[in-house]
Amino acid sequence: MYTKNIKEKKYMALTPIKKNSTLKEQAYEQIRQAINTNALKPGTFLTEEQLSSMLSISRTPIRSALQQLVYEKLLSQDATGHIYVSKITEKNVTDASRVRIALECMALDCAEFPIPAEKLAHIDEIYHEQVDLVKNNPTDNLGFAELDKLFHCAIAACCDNSSLIEFIQSINNVMVRMNVLSGTLSNNRLDALEEHAQIIRYLKSSQKEFAKLSLNEHLKKVETRMLQRDSVTE
């Protein structure tokens, strides 16, 4: 019945876990990376037994990692309890985007202006890493998407609400995969960079309302770009 189960020899993106750090976190990162790079394709069923064998760790940290990925919507669970890689649908994109817009704009609204210099410097640094990546490695979609996540999480970190920041980090983990698999970033990187630059200008000049408006418009444009891609199903 479950013909899309992973086969050990096919998915060498997963390598045995090193024992010098948290096993659950390492398992989570490896599985997330395999999902985001499409090594684990939408609809692929995953089992604790197979992943435990491939990563050379017990099933307990695997189970915790899978639960986290289900929570973040990168994995789904059917009525019988089987876990599989989530598909990207128009509803997925719309739902995630609306939550992202609400949370990120809320975080900026909660932030104290002027933004501290060290936080602005961190946001600026991530932006310039994105610029450099586009110049030096223009085909690295995953790298750009990961930096995009860091950029938005750095903006969220301007507010003093750890729970809100955690939710934003979680939704941006989902957006990394949507950005990569939808192909959105392949053709719209320069647009995204210009939109990021505009947000930074408003943050630096302490124009809070314009910064919120600019962020809101940017995130809506990202949603529109994703929905225009053929890889997003109805």
Q: What is the pLDDT of residues 71-95, one digit of tens each?
A: 888 999 999 999 999 988 899 899 9
Residues 6+ apart with CB under 8 A from 80: none
Which residue ranges make up each domain of the chain? 23-85, 90-227
From first to last of its 234 residues, what are the pLDDT tens digits of the chain? 444 555 544 444 566 555 556 899 999 999 998 998 888 999 999 999 999 999 999 999 999 999 999 988 899 999 999 999 998 889 989 999 999 999 999 999 999 999 999 999 999 999 999 999 999 998 888 899 999 999 999 999 999 999 999 999 999 988 998 888 776 666 788 999 999 999 999 999 999 999 999 999 999 999 998 888 655 666
Q: Which fold has domain 23-85?
A: Arc Repressor Mutant, subunit A (1.10.10)
Instruction: Give the neighbor-by-neighbor strand order of the sheet with 45-46.
Output: 45-46, 83-85, 75-77
Q: Tokens representing 39? A: 């090594």
CA distances from 227 to 81, 88, 142, 224, 230 (A): 30, 10, 19, 5, 8
How many whole angstroms separate alpha carbon 116 and alpha carbon 87?
Answer: 40
How many whole angstroms separate alpha carbon 19 and alpha carbon 220?
Answer: 42
CATH class of 90-227: mainly alpha
